[in-house]
Amino acid sequence: MTNEQKLRVIFAESLGIDEGQITDELTYNSIPEWDSIAHMALVSEIDDQFDTMLDTDDVLDMSTFAKAKEILTKYDVEF
């Protein structure tokens, strides 16, 4: 499984949505499932699965699926 596939699974499971809904343009608060509570669950799962500890600025800045990939590259995760 690639890191992008892994991140898609994390998004799908954390937000309770189908993987088909996940595109680079998927944006925080653009769907009811991605609210502030789900966002924190998503961050926690990303930290667990990629063995990272996202800093506060990155947590706040992670507003799209594409941005999540961009942020993770700062933590040496390759896409």
Predicted TM-score (pTM) of the model is 0.95
pLDDT recorded at residue 28: 97
Coil, strand or helix at 27:
strand
C-alpha span between 68 and 43 (Å, rounded): 9
Tens-place pLDDT, residues 12-68:
999 999 999 999 999 999 999 999 999 999 999 999 999 999 999 999 999 999 999
How confident is residue 6, by pLDDT bands cut at 50, 70 and 90? very high
